[in-house]
């Protein structure tokens, strides 16, 4: 890669996104159905056969050149659309060995053998089902709107992220040699923030991780005669206790470090002292020096405790996982964040002040050891239902995030509709930041006319905290799927469509300009969207591009055209699940949220009941079996 592709102006990217996202409401039921199907049928790392088949079929039907079995069960889709940059969009597909306890009507009851052949429960407790659904949805949207962009879209559905070896497996299988090297890589992950909130961070956003297997050897015997044995259980217990002091007493307080003993196993019966004990230890750090320091401490303590107990044999210590930090390219991160600001609005995009200690193998796609690494951007999409967030104890956002079901929790239940809509929009708009060049074929390359666009399109690249542009007419550009071009829709009167007031620099209600000047830094501590007390919903704020898009497509649909499209699409859909049986919410307790608004991520009237229990959109498709729900 000679040069990094230059992103288009963020307001221009938002304009392209506005046209592309006109189709979101038509496509959304299919994406939502695919998500529910994946959630109900999760697959463990390296066993994502069913998921990969669904992804491959979706991409094939929407016009991509599809390749399966990359790095195991990985899927690659290529869509070439003239000269331009190659933009790679990546999502992970695997689930966790965890029993789901969400109580959702589509909760997983799947059980499958793990890598050791032991049957375990399986759950999508980290949001990979949503990542995959948003990936194929974005691929579909881009395929249907090729007049709005130019370049090549590279879709990568990755296996085995949870074991942190899926990305390397795809690269070792010739991902870039066979399908081309991308110019920029984009990815996202669900997080515990409020549903629909987009969180960015330039530089390091995720930490490094290492994992170790430790086997302590003792001398077994009868529990009634411990003096004749060397008890490996006691050695293991002392190791666990001693390791707890490493971070607090050996690592500088200025550094981030985590050391966790996640597994300990020994013995078969209460009256038998075993011959050995087994431990698995995980560490997290933000740089190699700290990671090396943790590794040295583990080896020293394990060997010392074994020696102190008189073990005749040295313990075995093996590192079986190692993954580096995820370090967002600063320039690309600023460009994507600026496009998200322009599309979603100030209150729905924040900048994280600190990295997360979580780890992703996404960074390997950027070739961190290469002389010319590939720039990438990775961000979070909030998934916590608004009523759950509001009810969570805590005075700060981080306190609340520690008190809501988060990733890897058996209670992790994303707010389905706002999370998927935000994820679809976020990755699509990010892709158009590079693909939606001014030379693209669609009408968005020229300055749109009309009251919504009081002047020519801007030509300056915004910083990540730049002021969002004027609301964009979601019906600009060519009509979609046979529609006649509608007139710009009037804003809905719903007072909850955006309760936060106009972002700085946008026109205030009544046409008066908002106060000029750079916005205050919008981080996780001051975003209105993260406030525990929601602002007065009686305001009538200026809307972001995202608000205008959602209001228009949700408030001014042509039912006949939509029904006709859905009927055709349903016949060719990869989804065969009966949504009526999966999403039967009867008997599920529901009640109105206590205060939180629907927000623009809903794109319509405020929902009834808990966000993650809301039934999918449906229409009068009476000619289909179970027509109200089959997608």
The confidence score (pLDDT) of residue 20 equals 79
Residue at 291 is within a domain: yes
User: Average pLDDT of the chain?
Assistant: 78
Q: Which of 303, 323, 343 is the last residue of a domain?
A: 323
Please give the sequence-ordered ranges of beta strands (E in DSSP) within 178-269, or none if there are none. Answer: 184-194, 198-200, 203-206, 208-217, 221-222, 257-266
Q: What is the pLDDT of residues 243-298, one digit of tens each?
A: 999 999 999 999 999 999 999 999 999 999 999 999 999 999 999 999 999 999 99
The confidence score (pLDDT) of residue 542 equals 41
Are 252 and 179 part of one and the same domain?
A: no
Are 307 and 329 part of one and the same domain?
A: no
pLDDT band of 589, cuts 50, 70, 90: very low
Is residue 90 within a helix (H) or strand (E), and if so which, with residue range?
A: strand 86-92
Is residue 524 within a helix (H) or strand (E), and if so which, with residue range?
A: none
- Does the pTM exceed 0.75? no
pLDDT band of 515, cuts 50, 70, 90: very low
Number of residues written out for the chain: 631
Q: Which of 323, 349, 377 is the last residue of a domain?
A: 323
Return the DSSP state at 588: -
The confidence score (pLDDT) of residue 440 equals 58
**Domain that residue 342 falls in:** 10-206+325-368+403-520+534-555
Q: Which two tokens stand for residue 451?
A: 């009251």
Are 345 and 436 part of one and the same domain?
A: yes
- List all residues 6 or more positions away from 625 whose beta carbon is below 8 Å from its beta carbon: none
The confidence score (pLDDT) of residue 608 equals 37
- List all residues 6 or more positions away from 255 whose beta carbon is below 8 Å from its beta carbon: 285, 286, 287, 290
542 burial (CB, 10 Å; 0-12 / 13-18 / 19+) is buried
CATH of the domain at 236: 3.30.70.360
pLDDT band of 563, cuts 50, 70, 90: low
The confidence score (pLDDT) of residue 437 equals 64
Mean pLDDT is lowest, of 148-162, 338-352, 597-611, for: 597-611
Residue at 112 is within a domain: yes
Are 24 and 171 part of one and the same domain?
A: yes
Residue at 92 is within a domain: yes
**Bridge partners for 199 per DSSP:** 350, 380
pLDDT band of 523, cuts 50, 70, 90: low
Q: Which two tokens stand for residue 145?
A: 């709107």
pLDDT band of 327, cuts 50, 70, 90: very high
Residue at 220 is within a domain: yes
Dist CA 86 CA 588 (whole Å): 45
Is residue 296 within a helix (H) or strand (E), and if so which, with residue range?
A: helix 288-308
- List all residues 6 or more positions away from 386 whose beta carbon is below 8 Å from its beta carbon: 194, 195, 415, 418, 593, 596, 597, 598, 599, 611
- Of 351, 422, 392, residue with least CA distance to 596: 392
Are 200 and 294 part of one and the same domain?
A: no
Distance spanning both ends of the chain, measured CA to CA: 41
Q: Is the pLDDT of residue 465 over 50?
A: no
The confidence score (pLDDT) of residue 352 equals 94
Dist CA 40 CA 50 (whole Å): 12
Mean pLDDT is lowest, of 48-62, 102-116, 172-186, 548-562, for: 548-562
471 burial (CB, 10 Å; 0-12 / 13-18 / 19+) is buried
- Of 575, 605, 596, residue with least CA distance to 27: 575
pLDDT band of 15, cuts 50, 70, 90: confident
Residue at 375 is within a domain: no
- Of 41, 59, 61, 60, residue with least CA distance to 51: 41
216 burial (CB, 10 Å; 0-12 / 13-18 / 19+) is buried
CA distances from 525 to 337, 481, 520, 531, 622 (A): 18, 43, 12, 8, 49
Are 289 and 350 part of one and the same domain?
A: no
Q: Spell 396-433 as b/e; 16+ CB within 10 A means b.
A: ebeebbeebbbbebbebbbbbbbbbbbbbbbbbbbbbb
pLDDT band of 510, cuts 50, 70, 90: very low
Residue at 144 is within a domain: yes
Are 485 and 549 part of one and the same domain?
A: yes
Q: What is the pLDDT of residues 71-96, one digit of tens each?
A: 999 999 999 999 999 999 999 999 99
Q: Between 466 and 35, name the one with better pLDDT.
A: 35
Determine the 3-state secondary structure of 589 from DSSP.
coil
CA distances from 313 to 251, 275, 357 (A): 30, 11, 35
Are 331 and 463 part of one and the same domain?
A: yes
Percent pLDDT > 70 in the chain is 68
Are 348 and 477 part of one and the same domain?
A: yes
The confidence score (pLDDT) of residue 22 equals 81
Q: Is the pLDDT of residue 329 over 60?
A: yes
Are 75 and 174 part of one and the same domain?
A: yes
pLDDT band of 441, cuts 50, 70, 90: low
Structural domains of the chain, count: 2
The confidence score (pLDDT) of residue 16 equals 72
Enumerate the H helices of 62-160 as residue ranges. 128-144
99 burial (CB, 10 Å; 0-12 / 13-18 / 19+) is middle
Are 151 and 276 part of one and the same domain?
A: no
Dist CA 140 CA 28 (whole Å): 11
Mean pLDDT is lowest, of 372-381, 407-416, 563-572, for: 563-572
Q: Between 590 and 336, name the one with better pLDDT.
A: 336
Q: Between 336 and 489, name the one with better pLDDT.
A: 336
Pairing of the two strands 257-266 and 184-194: unpaired
DSSP string, 538-556: T--PPPPHHHHHHHHHHHS
Q: Between 490 and 26, name the one with better pLDDT.
A: 26
Q: What is the CA radius of gyration of the chain?
A: 26
Q: Are 89 and 377 in contact (CB under 8 A)?
A: no
Q: Which of 270, 297, 323 is the last residue of a domain?
A: 323
Residue at 591 is within a domain: no
- Of 327, 247, 253, 245, residue with least CA distance to 286: 327
Determine the 3-state secondary structure of 346 from DSSP.
helix
Q: Is the pLDDT of residue 541 over 90?
A: no
pLDDT band of 578, cuts 50, 70, 90: very low
Q: Is the pLDDT of residue 13 over 90?
A: no
The confidence score (pLDDT) of residue 256 equals 96
Residue at 577 is within a domain: no
Are 223 and 182 part of one and the same domain?
A: no
Return the DSSP state at 230: B
Query: At 62, phi and psi to the nearest 5?
Result: -100, 10
């Amino acid at each position: 890669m000679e040069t990094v592709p230059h992103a288009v102006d963020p307001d221009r990217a938002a304009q392209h996104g506005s046209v592309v996202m006109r189709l979101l409401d038509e496509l959304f039921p299919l994406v939502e159905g695919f998500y529910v199907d994946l959630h109900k049928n999760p697959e463990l790392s390296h066993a994502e056969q069913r998921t990969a088949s669904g992804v491959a079929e979706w991409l094939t039907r929407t016009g991509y050149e599809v390749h399966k079995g990359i790095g195991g069960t990985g899927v690659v889709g290529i869509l070439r659309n003239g000269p331009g940059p190659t933009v790679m969009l990546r999502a992970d597909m695997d689930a966790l060995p965890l029993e789901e306890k969400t109580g959702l009507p589509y909760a997983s009851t799947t059980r499958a053998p793990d890598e050791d052949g032991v049957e375990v429960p399986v759950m999508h407790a980290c949001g990979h089902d949503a990542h995959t659904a948003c990936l194929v949805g974005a691929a579909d949207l881009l395929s249907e709107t090729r007049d709005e962009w130019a370049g090549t879209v590279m879709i990568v559905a990755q296996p085995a992220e949870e074991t942190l070896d899926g990305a390397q497996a795809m690269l070792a299988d010739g991902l870039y040699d066979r399908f081309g090297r991308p110019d920029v890589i984009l990815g996202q992950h669900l997080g515990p923030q409020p549903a629909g909130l987009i969180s960015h961070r330039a530089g390091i956003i995720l930490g490094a991780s290492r994992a170790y297997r430790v086997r302590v050897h003792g001398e077994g015997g009868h529990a009634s005669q411990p003096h004749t044995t060397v008890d490996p259980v006691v050695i293991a217990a002392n190791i666990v206790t001693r390791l707890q002091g490493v971070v607090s007493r050996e690592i500088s307080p200025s550094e981030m470090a985590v050391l966790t003993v996640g597994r300990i196993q020994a013995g078969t019966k209460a009256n038998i002292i075993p011959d050995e004990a087994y431990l698995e230890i995980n560490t997290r750090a933000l740089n190699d020096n700290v990671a090396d320091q943790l590794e040295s401490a583990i080896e020293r303590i394990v060997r010392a405790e074994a020696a102190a107990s008189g073990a005749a044999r040295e313990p075995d210590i093996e590192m079986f996982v190692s993954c580096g930090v995820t370090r967002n390219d600063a320039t690309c991160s600023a460009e994507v964040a600026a496009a998200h600001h322009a599309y979603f609005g100030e209150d729905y995009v924040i900048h994280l002040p600190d990295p997360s200690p979580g780890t992703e193998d996404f960074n390997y796609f950027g070739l961190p050891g290469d002389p010319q690494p590939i720039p990438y951007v990775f961000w979070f999409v909030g998934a916590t239902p608004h009523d759950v967030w509001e009810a969570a104890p805590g005075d700060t956002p981080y306190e609340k995030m520690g008190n809501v079901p988060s990733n890897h929790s058996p209670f992790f239940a994303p707010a389905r509709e706002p999370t998927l809509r935000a994820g679809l929009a976020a990755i699509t708009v990010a892709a158009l930041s590079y693909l939606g060049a001014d030379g693209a074929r669609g009408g968005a390359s020229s300055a749109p006319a009309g009251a919504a666009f009081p002047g020519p399109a801007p030509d300056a690249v915004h910083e990540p905290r730049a002021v969002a542009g004027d609301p964009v007419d979601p019906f600009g550009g060519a009509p979609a799927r046979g529609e006649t071009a509608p007139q710009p829709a009037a804003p809905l009167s719903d007072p909850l469509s955006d309760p936060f007031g106009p972002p700085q620099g946008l026109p205030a209600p009544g046409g008066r300009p908002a106060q000029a000047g750079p916005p205050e830094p919008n981080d996780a501590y001051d975003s209105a969207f993260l406030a525990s007390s929601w602002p007065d919903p009686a305001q009538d704020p200026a809307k972001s591009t995202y608000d205008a898009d959602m209001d228009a497509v949700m408030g001014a649909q042509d039912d006949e055209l939509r029904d006709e499209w859905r009927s055709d699409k349903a016949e060719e859909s990869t989804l065969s699940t009966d949504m009526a049986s999966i999403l039967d919410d009867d008997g599920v307790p529901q009640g109105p949220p206590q205060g939180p608004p629907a927000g623009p991520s809903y794109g319509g009237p405020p929902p009834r009941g808990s966000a993650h229990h809301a039934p999918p959109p449906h229409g009068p498709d009476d000619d289909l079996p179970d027509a109200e729900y089959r997608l």
